[in-house]
Chain A
Amino acid sequence: MRILVVGGGCGGTILANNLARRLANEIRGRKVRLTMLSASDKHMYQPGLLYVAFGQMMPDELYRDQQSLLEPSIEFHVDPVEAFHLDQNRVTTKSGRTHEYDVLVIATGSRIVPEEVPGLVEGSETFYSEAAAVKMFKRLREFEGGKVAIVVGVPHKCPIAPVEVTFSLHDYFKTRGIRDKVHIKYHYPIGRIHTIENVAKWAKPEFDRIGVEYETLFNVREVDVENQVVKSEEGTETEYDLLISIPPHRGMPVIERDQMGDGGWIPTDRYKLTMEGHDNVYVLGDTTNLPVSKTGSAAHFEAEVVAENISSIIKIGTPVRDYDGKVYCFIEAGHDRATYAMFNYENPPDLKAPNKSMHWFKMSYNKMYWTSVRGLL
């Protein structure tokens, strides 16, 4: 049995480590071979980018060597897939190698595409890459006051990020003693300030309290960089001195190139996590087209289900679990407080009041992630 994992991010790594432990005897007995292909020899803790953008973490704290995170029984290659041949159960890679499989797991993740909005690259700061987060922090340090606008592309990774960056901006300028010189305006694509109703109900009075203006039904159409105006699909405009963007995302180019899913999102069974039409292909994390959050948390819970099912299929011939849509997201609420949203397909999140304990738990998790991604937590 050849199991091939494509993608060495959060979901792929948790899955591979989980499988390596569940199938340790089979791998040792050469009945199972577990291989991972990744585009990088480094693993990034992506939620840390928000902290880099506010000078609270250094970029080198975000990385570990991918090989060091993997069980020794996993065969690891830095060699991204260039083409999927699903009808022949094989992939070809950048180096020209072919890998055949019996079971394939696709966990290639997503990428930002700010270039799809005219002016967004030149006109805005963001924190969705290391370079961008460092640049954003330098820009914030230089900022002495004026109009700050926050805009949100669709779809985007980490749905909590828009409110978190808003609270962080308020805190940052307050700490610098210039909050009274900064006007913050938040823009959101749908008709309330967050897609999760209970988050919107909680965040709205918080925004009112800290003096953040908001405009809803604002889908960013273009940025007039010269005149510093951001325009919406809905026909409204906002002037800015500093524009912060959550960029729109797409799946990886290879997914679109091989016509495996519009936008790079692979059609996936929401319970089995198999690719539609391919029972031996599983899809994890951002790569799916599922109506669940694009977060490491979703990838984590999905990975546990897929690992358990691949293992049980090998051991007893049948899967044993369905994915229930579980997601758990920390929410940094500013002023060293945090809360969380936990939900699944059936149960909406029931938000608790933010407190300092949750903030320090999140700060601890920023370190504990490396235990989590090894599949130990």
Chain B
Amino acid sequence: MSEFKTIDARNTFCPGPLMELITYMKQAEVGDMLELLSTDNGTASDVPEWIDKVGHEMISSEKVGDVWHLKVRKLK
């Protein structure tokens, strides 16, 4: 798979962006790449922290306008 699957978690408070990412990560195959969209500034630190601890790969993180774009790859 070479494309990113987009998870639109903009303007959501419950279950929230990281919980959405975990949901989609469980459904993904090893090697799949996901892009999380979030308007919650906390996501910029929450997602890398979890990705690092659980052992997946953080590809990139950037803010475009009001929206964070976080790209990750499932490694296990």
Contact of A293 among B15, B27, B53 (CB under 8 A): B15
Tell me the minimal C-beta distance from A350 to chain B in angstroms: 11
Chain B positions within 8 Å of A234 at CB level: 50, 53-54
Stretch at the interface among A57-65, A67-75, A339-347: A339-347
> Bound complex: CA of A219 vs CA of B42, how far in Å?
20
Report B27-56 CB contacts with A as 1/0, cut-off 8 Å. Answer: 100000000000000100010011001110
Q: Say yes or no: is B14 at the interface (Cβ < 8 Å to chain A).
A: yes
Q: Say yes or no: is B60 at the interface (Cβ < 8 Å to chain A).
A: no
Known: A154-B26, A197-B42. A291 touches B18 (CB 8 A): no
Give the dominant DSSP class at B's interface. Answer: helix
Q: Are A196 and B12 in contact, with the CB atoms below 8 A?
A: no
Chain A positions within 8 Å of B50 at CB level: 190-191, 217, 234
Contact of A327 among B14, B16, B19, B23 (CB under 8 A): B14
Chain A positions within 8 Å of B24 at CB level: 262
Contact of A291 among B20, B27, B46, B49 (CB under 8 A): B20
Tell me the minimal C-beta distance from A82 to chain B in angstroms: 23
Q: Say yes or no: is B59 at the interface (Cβ < 8 Å to chain A).
A: no
Q: Are B54 and A191 in contact, with the CB atoms below 8 A?
A: no
Q: Are B13 and A196 in contact, with the CB atoms below 8 A?
A: yes
Chain A positions within 8 Å of B49 at CB level: 191, 217
Tell me the minimal C-beta distance from A11 to chain B in angstroms: 17
Chain B positions within 8 Å of A262 at CB level: 24, 27
Q: Are A292 and B18 in contact, with the CB atoms below 8 A?
A: no
Q: Say yes or no: is B8 at the interface (Cβ < 8 Å to chain A).
A: yes
Q: Are B14 and A159 in contact, with the CB atoms below 8 A?
A: yes
How many residues belonging to A are interface residues under a CB distance threshold of 8 Å? 30
Chain A positions within 8 Å of B54 at CB level: 217, 219, 233-234
Residue of B nearest to A195 (CB): B16
Q: Say yes or no: is A155 at the interface (Cβ < 8 Å to chain B).
A: yes
Known: A217-B53, A346-B11. A190 touches B23 (CB 8 A): no
> Bound complex: CA of A197 vs CA of B42, how far in Å?
10
Q: Are A195 and B23 in contact, with the CB atoms below 8 A?
A: no
Residue of A nearest to B20 (CB): A291
Q: How many A-B residue pairs have CB under 8 A?
A: 75
Known: A217-B53, A291-B8. A195 touches B14 (CB 8 A): yes
Q: Say yes or no: is B70 at the interface (Cβ < 8 Å to chain A).
A: no
Q: Say yes or no: is B72 at the interface (Cβ < 8 Å to chain A).
A: no
Q: Are B19 and A190 in contact, with the CB atoms below 8 A?
A: yes
Residue of B nearest to A290 (CB): B12
Q: Are B12 and A292 in contact, with the CB atoms below 8 A?
A: yes
Chain B positions within 8 Å of A55 at CB level: none
Listed residue (A154, A197, A292) with the most chain B CB atoms within 10 angstroms of its CB: A154
> Bound complex: CA of A154 vs CA of B16, how far in Å?
12
Chain B positions within 8 Å of A293 at CB level: 14-15
Chain B positions within 8 Å of A190 at CB level: 16, 18-19, 22, 46, 50
Residues of B within 8 A of A (CB): 8-9, 11-20, 22-24, 26-27, 42, 46, 49-50, 53-55
Other 15 A-B pairs with CB < 8 A, given A154-B26, A291-B8: A155-B15, A189-B18, A189-B19, A195-B13, A195-B15, A195-B16, A196-B13, A196-B16, A217-B50, A217-B53, A217-B54, A235-B55, A263-B23, A291-B17, A293-B14
30 contacts between A and B (CB under 8 A): A154-B19, A154-B22, A154-B23, A155-B23, A159-B15, A189-B18, A190-B22, A190-B46, A191-B49, A195-B16, A196-B13, A196-B14, A196-B16, A197-B42, A217-B49, A217-B54, A233-B54, A234-B53, A234-B54, A248-B26, A262-B27, A291-B17, A291-B20, A292-B14, A293-B15, A294-B15, A325-B12, A327-B14, A343-B13, A343-B14
